[in-house]
Amino acid sequence: MAHPSLDALAARQQAKKHRTKTLVKAGGILTPIGNSKNLPPAFAKKIEVGTDLAWFKLCSGIGTVDNYNEVAWAANVVEFGLRDQGIPEVTEVVLEANAALDEMRLHFLDKQEWVATDRAKAIVPSLLDLLTQLLQFLSINQLERILKEIERERVKHH
């Protein structure tokens, strides 16, 4: 018999397939360049399941700083990976999710507990859907470039 929380995670994965319309399409910066290889499906799935599990833990009150960082990492990858696509719906999801995640971080700093607000619960799943869509089109080189750009921004602001 599967653990109830694993059943809930599986249900979330199934619901994800039907929740968000496809906004990320191949083309533009998402077209693999030269000999770049797409992310191996198992690697992309590991990222997807890891971020979904981290979010589930944060929503369940058992989250950790590492879980938060994993979801924040996903938000950064979506933001930096899709910012040049000019898709208003993506921009709105990223801005809302970042604001909601920042509220959660501030609450944690004040109370030393992770609480997923209704706002976060409403928007972060859409952000994770965008991550899943993005991972389908990214090459290894593109993900590396995105991660380097995120690190440059982080260093610049700290």
Pairwise CA distance, residues 58 & 152, whole Å: 27
Half-sphere exposure of 123 (CA within 13 A, CB side): 21
User: Under 8 Å CB-to-CB from 101, ≥6 apart: which residues?
Assistant: 68, 71, 72, 75, 120, 124
Pairwise CA distance, residues 65 & 86, whole Å: 32
Mean pLDDT of 127-150: 92
Summarised one tens digit per residue, pLDDT across range 107-128 is 999 999 999 999 999 999 999 9
Look at residue 108 in the predicted model and tell me its pLDDT: 96
Q: 115: closest CA among 57, 52, 59, 53? A: 59
Mean pLDDT of 23-52: 71
> What does pTM read for this prediction?
0.76
Pairwise CA distance, residues 156 & 6, whole Å: 39
